[in-house]
A and B are shown apart, each in its own frame.
Chain A
Amino acid sequence: MMDDNVLTNEDIGVILKLIEESKFDFLQLEYGDFKLNISKKGNIFDQTTGEQPISSAAVKTPAPIKEPETKEPPAPNLKVDEVTDQAAEEEEVVEEGLIPIKAPTVGIFYCAPEPGAKPFVSIGSKVDKNTAVGLVEVMKVYTRIMAGVKGVIKKRLVENAKLVEHGQTIFLVEPDEDNK
């Protein structure tokens, strides 16, 4: 476990600012058990080990992502069929020529490594097969969602901190011609 004295959220904010203003694209910091990877362009995993678990970067920082139940205003009026319609709609929107990025597991989808942080990707972002595009949380375990395809993000179909089904389409990607 990380020692809380090593770096606080504010410290990371300062580091992020410094990197933002610097001419460097990428910072990798290791201090004992603590590892921090920061990247201005693309994705941290492209530039490091690729298969590194997400816990080494975002999740080990203090103030982890809050429980979705407390974050989301309670929706007592939510009808089951609304959820169904939503899910069904999302099933059908796969447009011609676009490739879906699907949820690898049931869970809560997060578009950014922590609340308030920059999303992993946004519309127009270039992605590679190994680009992380979001997180899915299942019972406090976070799994990276990999793009799995080279191309450009065209559409995001799931709002931040929403429940996703196993296999639900989250992003649509326009694949590069040299894809595959």
Chain B
Amino acid sequence: MKISRVFIANRGEIAVRVIRACQALNIETVLGVSEADRKTLAAELADLAFCIGPPRSADSYLNVNAIITAALGTKSDAIHPGYGFLAEDPNFAKACSENGLIFIGPNGKHIDQMGNKLEARALASQCGLPLTDGSVKINKCQDAEKIAEKIGFPLLVKAAAGGGGRGIRIVHEKSELQAAFETASAEAKAAFDDSTLFLERFIESARHIEVQILADTYGNVVHLGERDCSMQRRYQKVIEEAPPCDLSEYLRKEISQAAVTLTKHIAYENAGTVEFIVDMEKNNFYFLEMNTRIQVEHPITEEITGRDIVRDQLRIANGEALGYTQDDVRVSGYAIECRINAESALHGFRPSPGKIKKWVPPQGDGIRFDTHCFEGYLIPPFYDSLLGKLITHGTDRNAAIELMQHALEEFEVEGIETNVPFLKFVMKQPDYQNCSISTRYMEYLENAFSEEFMLQE
């Protein structure tokens, strides 16, 4: 193995996940920590925890120079960026290669291409992937009005450099367009330093379906099946499942084949996810974007395929061939993931940092809990609210839901508030159980949840 020591430029549960994958491959780990993260589970598990800066992410987890210096100085030979932070910053990937460090992910060019949603659309279109009706880049609101007439309402105003739900607005009619255009533009400028926008047709009854891809440096590409991520709150995924329920075998095959086609077309390397929107009324699918990193929800795919995606990432980065083909990929059973967040479901999902006074995670056959939390852990207020990912794996969807209900019931946490009450509420909804889900279902559930809670009050 070329890679013998990996520097991990991330924190939280994904840092723990990467360390464990490295340990399984006998690779040493150096974890870059901020001052606020010196006493974390990941810091304890890593062979070395090395402080890269103050608590603020901009000064630590987003500080390219500090991370490169620390990685070189600790004689690491590769960097795993996890997700978020610098994972999709093309300049970081480039800085790694310029300094002789292996970036565990695709190269800077691919991150760049897919990071720009307009360029991604153009590349997808080149290899015949279906796109929703959309526009080229728009700088002026007057231009937007003309194009909007052609696309028709409702539509989405989106940031070209977008991600994480920022710089997106739904526009139902012409009169709303100007305001949406201006706020999305300002938000995109603030978040991505690029105010370029484009328009896209909005599909009312949609499912969000994505495909896990793995590609080695020899041109071998496999997909590990599809995931459904329709259960989103404010464009943030909350519940994910695999394989998607109630989606025809034909459509599933078409979608995963489209993902492989795009991956091959751009000669992509390492793990990636191609996202699609499925119009349930018309039984059509459209390319949305490609994420050039490990996804938060990768464990559900691991559960149903038996592959270790992070381990495959390390092997690919090390120059090894995938070692298996599409025919070797078998899907077995059904998996659901609930993101457990430190946010008060009973108080409008406001963040709830603090000290965990009691922590009894659920256990048992078919239950997996990817987390960095423990009893006595102080959740710092500087980062996101993800406490962990609760994953259940059953023979079918009903079994997975039932197991999730048990697991959520068994889970005990005190000292902080979580979204567990809301997740329990979702799991018992007949519509959810019948797979009557869409990207708008969560919004409805949120309202229903607060109403029920008010009544109980």
Give the B-binding residues of A (Cβ under 8 A). Answer: 68-69, 75, 78, 80-81, 83-84, 87, 105-108, 137-139, 141, 163, 165-168
How many angstroms from the CA of A6 to the CA of B307 in the assembled complex? 64
**Smallest Cβ distance from A111 to chain B, in angstroms?**
17
- Give 21 A-B contacts (CB < 8 Å), ordered by A residue: A80-B5, A80-B47, A80-B48, A80-B74, A84-B47, A84-B48, A106-B51, A106-B53, A106-B73, A107-B66, A108-B69, A108-B73, A138-B65, A138-B66, A139-B68, A163-B69, A165-B51, A166-B35, A166-B52, A166-B66, A167-B51
Instruction: Give the total number of A-B pairs whose CB atoms are below 8 A apart.
Output: 59
**Which residues of B lie under 8 Å from residue A139 when comparing CB positions?**
65, 68-69
Does B70 have its Cβ within 8 Å of any Cβ on chain A?
Answer: yes
Q: A75-B75, A83-B74 are in contact. Are A165 and B65 (CB under 8 A)?
A: no
How many angstroms from the CA of A51 to the CA of B322 in the assembled complex? 55
Interface core residue of A75, A80, A84, A87 (most chain B CB under 10 Å)? A80
Give the A-binding residues of B (Cβ under 8 A). Answer: 5, 28, 30, 35, 47-54, 60, 65-66, 68-70, 72-75
How many angstroms from the CA of A138 to the CA of B74 in the assembled complex? 14
Instruction: Name the prevailing secondary structure of the B interface residues.
Output: mixed
* Interchain CB contact under 8 A, B35 and A68: no
* Interchain CB contact under 8 A, B70 and A106: yes
Interface core residue of B51, B69, B70 (most chain A CB under 10 Å)? B69
* Interchain CB contact under 8 A, B30 and A80: yes
9 closest A-B pairs by CB: A163-B73, A80-B47, A165-B51, A139-B65, A106-B66, A166-B51, A80-B48, A166-B53, A138-B65
* Interchain CB contact under 8 A, A168 and B51: yes
**Which residues of A lie under 8 Å from residue B51 when comparing CB positions?**
106, 165-168
Residue of B nearest to A167 (CB): B51
Query: Given A83-B74, A105-B66, A166-B54, 14 more contacts at CB 8 Å?
Result: A80-B47, A80-B48, A81-B48, A84-B49, A105-B53, A107-B69, A108-B73, A138-B65, A138-B66, A141-B65, A165-B70, A166-B35, A166-B52, A167-B51
* Interchain CB contact under 8 A, B65 and A163: no
**Smallest Cβ distance from B65 to chain A, in angstroms?**
4
How many angstroms from the CA of A51 to the CA of B53 in the assembled complex? 22
**Which residues of B lie under 8 Å from residue A83 when comparing CB positions?**
48, 74
**Which residues of B lie under 8 Å from residue A75 when comparing CB positions?**
75
Residue of B nearest to A81 (CB): B47
**Which residues of A lie under 8 Å from residue B60 when comparing CB positions?**
166
**Which residues of B lie under 8 Å from residue A138 when comparing CB positions?**
65-66, 69
**Which residues of B lie under 8 Å from residue A106 when comparing CB positions?**
50-53, 66, 69-70, 73
How many angstroms from the CA of A80 to the CA of B35 in the assembled complex? 20
How many angstroms from the CA of A166 to the CA of B67 in the assembled complex? 11
**Which residues of B lie under 8 Å from residue A69 when comparing CB positions?**
72
How many angstroms from the CA of A107 to the CA of B50 in the assembled complex? 11
Q: A106-B53, A108-B73 are in contact. Are A80 and B28 (CB under 8 A)?
A: yes
How many angstroms from the CA of A106 to the CA of B35 in the assembled complex? 12
Interface core residue of B35, B48, B49 (most chain A CB under 10 Å)? B48
Interface core residue of A107, A166, A167 (most chain B CB under 10 Å)? A166
**Smallest Cβ distance from B94 to chain A, in angstroms?**
13
**Which residues of A lie under 8 Å from residue B75 when comparing CB positions?**
75, 78
How many angstroms from the CA of A106 to the CA of B64 in the assembled complex? 11
**Which residues of B lie under 8 Å from residue A141 when comparing CB positions?**
65
